[in-house]
Amino acid sequence: MGKDKYPLQDVLKIKKRKFEQAVKLFEEKTAQLLEEEEKLYQAEEERNKVLEHKIAKLNQIRTALDKGAKYEKIEMMKNYLKVVKEQLKEKENKVANQKKAVEKAEKELEEAKKNLFEKKKDLEKLNIHKDEWKKEVAIEVTRKEASEEDEVGSVRHARKKKKE
């Protein structure tokens, strides 16, 4: 059995290499998803700051109106509020785009996970086949040894009979 080589050893090596590549890809996609989620968190934080600033400016305008501030000052505040609204709109777009990037990364991770599962399954099937092949070879070797022992026994028996 020592000199018998598994006939699908090259295929096994290829399957193992593909499995290792799938593991690496899965790890990369996991890291990419985490990175995209972190970017989303940062974008949401920026948006929330601008939103809080907008609310503060609205309250400031209301307070100024209640106190009877001059028309020019109110107009200036309204113009600034328009700028803040534009900033908020930009931040909302950034958050929406980042959510799409996170969804894309999740899909890619899911595909990598499926690929990893398939490669693992292929590798396991081949390893099971190799184990069964080893068992069959061991059985064959045992049969040959038994056959050779029978022959040796028969020859000894025949010699013994001749001598007698």
- Among 15-24, 71-80, 138-147, 150-159, name the most confident range: 15-24
156 versus 46: the higher-pLDDT residue is 46
Residue in 34, 53, 51 with CA at minimum distance from that of residue 94: 51
- Rounded distance, CA 116 to CA 111, Å? 8
The pLDDT value recorded for residue 130 is 93
Residue 2 has pLDDT above 60, yes or no: no
Say if CB 53 and CB 84 are below 8 A apart: yes
**Which residue do the tokens 């068992």 mark?**
135
pLDDT at 3: 60
pTM over 0.85: no
Q: What is the pLDDT of residues 96-112, one digit of tens each?
A: 999 999 999 999 999 99
* pLDDT score recorded for residue 131: 93
Residue with tokens 């972190």, as numbered in its chain: 38
> In the structure, what pLDDT confidence band is assigned to residue 6 with cuts at 50, 70 and 90?
confident
What's the pLDDT band for 146 if we cut at 50, 70, 90?
Answer: confident
pLDDT at 1 over 50: no
- Sorted by where each starts, the structural domains of the chain and their CATH numbers stand as 15-163 (1.10.287.1700)
- pLDDT computed for residue 162 by the predictor: 79
